[in-house]
Copies of this chain bind each other. A is one copy, B any other.
Amino acid sequence: MTTIRDVAKRAGVAPITVSRVLNNAGYVRPETRQRVEQAAAELHYVPNMLAHSFRSHRTNTLALVVTDITNPFWTTVARGVEDVASAAGFSVFFCNTDENEAKQGQYIAALLRRRVDGVLLAPASSNGADVHALQRQRVGVVVLDRRIEGVAVDIVRGDSVDGAFQLVHHLTGLGHRRIALLAGPAGLSVSQERAAGYEQALRAAGLTPEPALLRFGAFTVASGYAMMRDLLAHRPTAIFAANNFIAAGALTVIREAGLRTPEDISVVVFDDLPDPYVTAPVLTVVVQPAYALGRAAAARLLTRLQQPDLPPHELVLPVQMIVRSSTAAPPPPA
């Protein structure tokens, strides 16, 4: 394998000069630079980034740890992260935890061993241990989408309370009084915040939240299906699904029960399903700016790498409701 030494020999310079050329660091005479570049090309030289990183203590690598790689919300976030990172010369390690705390711990340990410069973490739980472990080793961290407890750290997330409020306010405005919430895991801040927005909107309409109409589960199709099955007996006239996959499960139950949307039951959802998902009906939704969220989080992480002592900051991105054909006035009481 050819090394910087071989290139140096061929170009008639010292290894350190080759290093300067390859890293665009320090002064090199244009002619010297050209001779080095030519020698490198002729030898098919491939820089050894392991040696570089090992010596310089910089890997130019970030990691993005998400909870469900099959959810288009997260793949869209990933594109935002990747675009910002690669423009700044960083590579990104994508990791998928399946909302599993143990898996998350294993990934964090692996990333620490690899000496990534920074981590963007969508935490699988509110437990701050992993963030703490990263900070102890002086790895940059930005928490995505969710809040965690007891740790001072940068956060970038969408406005769940406001989004939930908008959706449920829309439903009460249409005259709905029996609105169910199919929420995510009870322990996550996003679940709690969407439930808070839901209750605020109910109260604003003079309604009292009914425990039987609020279910916690998981951000999966199967969970949406199970929660919706349980709910049918309680005769909701509208459903608020806390994410897109929950909505997909709920819609399957609705279809199987022979109910029509929006005539028999209205449906609203947090997070859109993009184009390729040929949904019917077309859902009233709160859209989080997933791509912008990825970009903002990556940008913040790069800033933190340069200024480690910046005070932690929470960035809450606004969300937007799009009213489509899945919502209408409730059916007249039977």
User: Residues of A with Cβ closer than 8 Å to B?
Assistant: 1, 44, 46-51, 53-54, 59, 69-72, 75-76, 78-79, 82, 91, 93-94, 96, 109-110, 112-115, 136-137, 221, 244-245, 248, 251-252, 273-280
Contact = CB atoms under 8 A, between A and B. Distances in A.
Given A70-B76, A91-B93, 18 more contacts: A48-B54, A48-B113, A49-B113, A49-B115, A50-B54, A69-B75, A69-B78, A70-B274, A75-B75, A82-B96, A91-B110, A91-B114, A221-B275, A252-B278, A273-B276, A277-B279, A278-B278, A278-B279
A10 B239 CA distance: 60
Nearest to A276: B248
Contacts of A113: 46-49
A50 B275 CA distance: 42
A115 B273 contact: no
28 contacts: A1-B137, A44-B136, A46-B112, A46-B113, A46-B137, A47-B113, A48-B113, A48-B115, A49-B113, A49-B114, A50-B50, A50-B54, A51-B54, A70-B72, A70-B75, A71-B276, A82-B96, A91-B93, A91-B110, A93-B93, A221-B275, A244-B276, A248-B276, A248-B278, A251-B278, A273-B277, A273-B278, A278-B279
A82 B70 CA distance: 14
Nearest to A137: B46
Number of copies: 2
Contacts of A53: 50
Contact of A277 (B48, B54, B278): B278
A168 to B, nearest CB: 22
Contacts of A276: 70-71, 221, 244-245, 248, 273, 277
Contacts of A51: 54
A87 B137 CA distance: 26
